[in-house]
Structure 1
């Protein structure tokens, strides 16, 4: 067993260039680092079949269905029914990633919002959590989540969190989880590091967002799920917590949120 016990990469893209070419070895390296479960995220509906191929090939990998805000213009007619139907697969455990990205503005903002709303309604109908991508869109993201929650409950996670403390507080008040990526290890991520200290232990997740955002000491390399161990180590030190305890807590949080997954029994000794 690794010093982390059993940890989870709650957000990776195993079908993306940089990982898919060496996929079996990438997965074995993750397992060797103590990663007992990986969630491979769908960003384009036309790539959904790639996600299915991966999750059906490996017992410890699960997937989501969704359309990234960057793709909202390329895939403008995301039907709630299509999301719900694809989520029936036993190993599809979440919706997204979805959300708002006003930094790149790769798609018109009104189309991003329509896309986001479709995923939220699918979340209500299926009971599956949404995976939220938000960048430079704090005001609209907070307003949308708060107003939609009044219409009916749903749950989810703010993935790869880099936003304001205000958004973190609003998300936590709505019952959301917050996931920290390798960005927290970067020297210039002081604000994020301060925010990461404030996240309650029972709402914290860790991720790689691989093949992007490799943490220190892997900066400049293609990121892969094994590197979530480095983020766990840094985060534990930042929060003055035992790294194995942080691993166990974030793993339990993952299974609490993605409750469609039946955890290994007992996962602590996996």
Structure 2
């Protein structure tokens, strides 16, 4: 029982073998996953996959790198899609200060708009953060995002920000980097996050875990993430799987549906 809370099976990397990739995930013990849409192309594909498979859900949001392309029409579109029965979160959204396509102030404005929408439609949010932690935490606090809560997707900061995230009703999600031999911070975080606030993910096709680092990632590899976290915490994979799946169900409101 493993719940991969962040996959991008809706991107072109999987055009040749998407069904086979999904089948490998099922065979590996992945019982549920969330396909995350982030632009005009990937959002409809996320919805389509969620409609096609009972165990796949969708998240819809606007990536900060493309914030300059976001208008009122996109906001209305996201609001309409939020009512879809298989949409369980808004995102990914946030800030990305590594790429310079969208100015910081534009990213921040689009981020705030999406948080406000999430509060309106009562859905949790999925946070993308690259080199922007202080601004993200500040904006989440200012917008009172604790009323929606959500996920710090592929958390890549140290333990010092964990408590602030927990206090805002966010879960900490760890992916492939926690398995990297030189990744000290994710390993520290994996040890200290309360088990009832921990999630696992692949972010496939990106960030494949060791020993597949540098290759195309896929949902079946979330087993490697679970195994490594289990080793760090002195647990079994089954214990990590049960706990993180229960956490995902609670966050996404899936227990109410089933």
TM-score (norm 1): 0.91
Matched, 1:98 2:90: no
**1:56-135 to 2 correspondence within 5 Å?**
56-77=51-72, 79-135=74-130
**2: distance between equivalents of 1:106 and 1:204?**
32
Change (3 A) 1:262 1:34: farther
Quick check: 247-256 or 162-171, which moved more?
Answer: 162-171
Per-residue Cα deviation, 1:170-222 (whole angstroms, up to 9, x for no partner): 11111110100011011121122112211110000000000001101212221
Asked if structure 2 preserves the Cα contact closer than 8 Å seen for 1:55 and 1:61, the reply is: yes
Which residue, out of 187, 190, 201, partners 2:195? Answer: 201
Matched, 1:250 2:208: no
Asked if structure 2 preserves the Cα contact closer than 8 Å seen for 1:93 and 1:261, the reply is: no
SS at match of 1:222: coil
Change (3 A) 1:154 1:71: same
Which runs of no fewer than 5 residues in structure 1 stay unpaired? 1-5, 265-270
Count of residue pairs brought into register by the alignment? 258
Which residue, out of 182, 187, 190, partners 1:188? Answer: 182
Give, in angstroms, the shift of residue 46 of structure 1. Answer: 4.3
Quick check: 229-238 or 113-122, which moved more?
Answer: 113-122
Give, in angstroms, the shift of residue 131 of structure 1. Answer: 0.3
Give, in angstroms, the shift of residue 242 of structure 1. Answer: 1.9
Give, in angstroms, the shift of residue 261 of structure 1. Answer: 6.4
Greater RCO structure (CA 8 Å; 6+ sep): 1
Quick check: 235-244 or 91-100, which moved more?
Answer: 235-244
Asked if structure 1 preserves the Cα contact closer than 8 Å seen for 2:174 and 2:186, the reply is: no
TM-score (norm 2): 0.95
Q: Name the one with the larger helix percent.
A: 2
**What is the CA RMSD across the aligned residues, in angstroms?**
1.7
Quick check: 131-140 or 207-216, which moved more?
Answer: 131-140
**2: distance between equivalents of 1:78 and 1:43?**
15
SS at match of 1:9: strand
Per-residue Cα deviation, 1:202-256 (whole angstroms, up to 9, x for no partner): 0000000000011012122210000001100011101111221110000000000
Partner of 1:13: 8
Give, in angstroms, the shift of residue 78 of structure 1. Answer: 5.9
**2: distance between equivalents of 1:138 and 1:220?**
25
Matched, 1:178 2:167: no
Give, in angstroms, the shift of residue 83 of structure 1. Answer: 1.8
**1:143-162 to 2 correspondence within 5 Å?**
143-149=138-144, 153-162=147-156
Asked if structure 2 preserves the Cα contact closer than 8 Å seen for 1:183 and 1:189, the reply is: yes
**1: distance between equivalents of 2:243 and 2:191?**
15
Asked if structure 2 preserves the Cα contact closer than 8 Å seen for 1:78 and 1:118, the reply is: no
